[in-house]
Amino acid sequence: MMDVAKRNNVKITGQGKTAIIFGHGFGCDQLVWNEVIDQFKNDYKVITFDYVGSGQSDKTAYSQERYSDLYGYKQDLLDVCDSLEDDSFIFVGHSVSSMIGMLASIERPELFSKLVMIGPSPHYLNEPGYQGGFDKSDINELLDMMEVNYKEWAKYLAPVVMSNEDRPELAENFEQLLCSNDPKIARQFAEVTFTSDVRSELSKLTVPTLIMQTQFDAIAPLEVGQYVHDHIADSRLVIMKAMGHNPHISDAAETAAVIKEYLAG
């Protein structure tokens, strides 16, 4: 248990009885939740962690084989849950972490009372009858750019992800966060994320789920959020006022308020 706490840099704060665990997305770490979790510490036991290879996790534990698909990250989440004393969790996942949480809850539904998905996407590629947001050539270009010049890739991607042109400091800060990653690990995580396809798993989810979608998201468009909602039986879709793929960073107050309203209901 101590190994998992160290491996995944598990942090526990708050003073409530109900446990709520926050999972970060690709290119990020648990620090992106700082402003959001402040709103939950009075009423919940708050757990944050880093997936292996991200943030302050033990990067010596990283294995290309284990993390060659989303199921390796799913196991990270289950390991973190099993290392704690709680019987049940609310899981809040951003972006690809939404799908990681879904896979974990399908395998162990008794572990999760509710799921919250922020900007989820089960598949990022456009296909006949499905608009994921990217053509295959877009993804290949992005992955190639990561290999050729990682810092230029980060500089290009950050403003696209944040989509708050009137607040350039958000893109600048996110660019720094992306640059703090190990480029080789980030390259593999990016490929795993953007080539994943777990659409067939959506209908297997039995845990009540909130889907949070911003007005404009260049990474996971509104059509994708609607698709996820349509394919998860017990789900609620909320369109936020926020813009961009990272509302928990750009609009932490609204993000926390939407989650709280759902949990209260």
CB 95 within 8 A of CB 118: yes
The continuous run of DSSP H or E covering 90 comes out as strand 89-94
Catalytic residue among 29, 50, 76, 217: 217
Dihedrals φ, ψ of 239, to 5°?
-95, 120
Residue 179: partners with Cβ closer than 8 Å, 6 or more residues away: 150, 151, 154
Catalytic residue among 24, 123, 229, 245: 245
Residue 62: partners with Cβ closer than 8 Å, 6 or more residues away: 52, 53, 185
Catalytic, 245? Answer yes
Catalytic residue among 54, 57, 95, 121: 95
Residue 236: partners with Cβ closer than 8 Å, 6 or more residues away: 209, 210, 211, 229, 262
**How far apart (Å, rounded) are the C-alpha atoms in residues 202 and 27?**
24
Catalytic, 217? Answer yes
Task: Characterize the bridge pairing of strands 18-23 and 11-14.
Answer: unpaired
Catalytic, 87? Answer no
Q: What type of residue sits at position 167?
A: R
What is the distance of C-alpha 28 from the center of its chain?
9
Active site residues: 95, 217, 245
